[in-house]
């Protein structure tokens, strides 16, 4: 069964420092991977996705993620975090043979302190 | 585009009452998803539709829950009778096509059943 794991419930960083949010996946085939962000009292917003091709994917708000097939990981990164990046981040995976369903991780709460 | 529209944004009801949540997907999107988010269980997919047809309702918790999509621009999620354990935030999301495309989430309906 397709699944993702986000090993950290919380990540705390200082503004201006690099931010990394970890995600590992488990699927039987090649995965389609997504990152979403949720601000308080809002719906999830799409950040970026990996489908195929270049392992480094760039997305919204200066975020990027690196697909690593050997480590089955898809970590989200931002070189210089902002206070406004404080939110709940979700990793999700979709397997090609199961085109519609997304399996979401439990989420990682990011807090960026000024 | 106005994005995915959900109504009401907040709903407070008493146990045993019928609750109807509404969703208008993004125009042109042909897949629609209903999710439920709670602290205990995270984000759960309840049901999804493709071209107005229910494809997978395996996430619907029990017979008290039902969903319809009478046309491409409207869907409802109904709970009858409601119970306190149904209290959660319910999200509707839509996407275009299948596989590689991301889902766009509505702002959610916060349901409280007393």
- CA of B107: how far to CAs of A40, A77, B20, in Å? 10, 25, 16
Answer for the pair B44, B53: CB distance below 8 angstroms, yes or no: no
d(CA B10, CA B44): 19
pLDDT digits (tens, 9 = 90+) for A33-78: 999 999 998 999 999 999 988 999 999 999 999 999 999 999 999 9
SS3 of B51-63: the string is CCEEEECCCCCCC
d(CA B89, CA B9): 9
Answer for the pair A24, A73: CB distance below 8 angstroms, yes or no: yes
Choose the mutation target among B31, B32, B43 for the interface with A, i.e. most A CBs under 10 Å. B43
Find residue B103's DSSP bridge partners. none
Q: Is the pLDDT of residue B99 over 80?
A: no
For the segment B65-79, the average pLDDT, to the nearest whole number, is: 97
CB of B99 within 8 Å of a chain A CB? The answer is yes
C-alpha closest to that of B21 among B87, B67, B81, B84: B67
Q: Is the pLDDT of residue B58 over 70?
A: yes
Report for A91-95, B17-21, B51-55: range of highest mean pLDDT:
B17-21
Residue B99 token pair: 């596989």
pLDDT digits (tens, 9 = 90+) for B12-43: 999 999 999 999 999 999 999 999 999 999 99
A107 to B43: CB separation less than 8 angstroms, yes or no: yes
B100 to A49: CB separation less than 8 angstroms, yes or no: yes
Three-state DSSP state, A90:
strand
pLDDT at A58: 96
Q: Is the pLDDT of residue A98 over 70?
A: no
Pick B102's closest partner by Cβ from A41, A49, A90: A49
Above pLDDT 70, what percent of chain B?
97
Answer for the pair B49, B31: CB distance below 8 angstroms, yes or no: yes
pLDDT at B89: 97
Mean pLDDT of chain A: 93
User: Which residues of A fall within a CB distance of 8 Å from B56?
Assistant: 100-101
pLDDT at B1: 64
d(CA A22, CA A7): 7
For the segment A86-103, the average pLDDT, to the nearest whole number, is: 84
């Amino acid at each position: 069964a397709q699944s993702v794991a986000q090993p950290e419930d919380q990540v705390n960083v200082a503004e201006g420092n690099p931010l990394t949010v970890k995600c590992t996946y488990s699927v039987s085939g090649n995965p389609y991977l997504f990152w979403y962000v949720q601000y308080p009292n809002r719906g999830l917003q799409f950040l970026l996705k990996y489908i195929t091709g270049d392992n480094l994917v760039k997305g919204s708000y200066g975020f990027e993620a690196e697909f690593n097939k050997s480590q089955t990981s898809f970590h989200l990164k931002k070189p210089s975090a902002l206070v406004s990046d404080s939110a709940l981040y979700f990793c999700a995976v979709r397997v090609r043979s199961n085109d519609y369903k997304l399996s979401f991780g439990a989420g990682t709460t990011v807090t960026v302190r000024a | 585009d106005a994005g995915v529209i959900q109504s009401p944004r907040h709903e407070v009801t008493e146990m045993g009452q019928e609750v109807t949540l509404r969703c208008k997907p993004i125009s042109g999107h042909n897949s629609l998803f209903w999710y439920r988010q709670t602290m205990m269980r995270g984000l759960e997919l309840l049901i999804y539709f493709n071209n107005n047809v229910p494809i997978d309702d395996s996430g619907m918790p029990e017979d008290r829950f039902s969903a319809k999509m009478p046309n491409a621009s409207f869907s409802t999620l109904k709970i009858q009778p409601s119970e306190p354990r149904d209290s959660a935030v319910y999200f509707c999301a839509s996407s275009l096509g299948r596989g590689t495309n991301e889902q766009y989430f509505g702002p959610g309906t916060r349901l409280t059943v007393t």
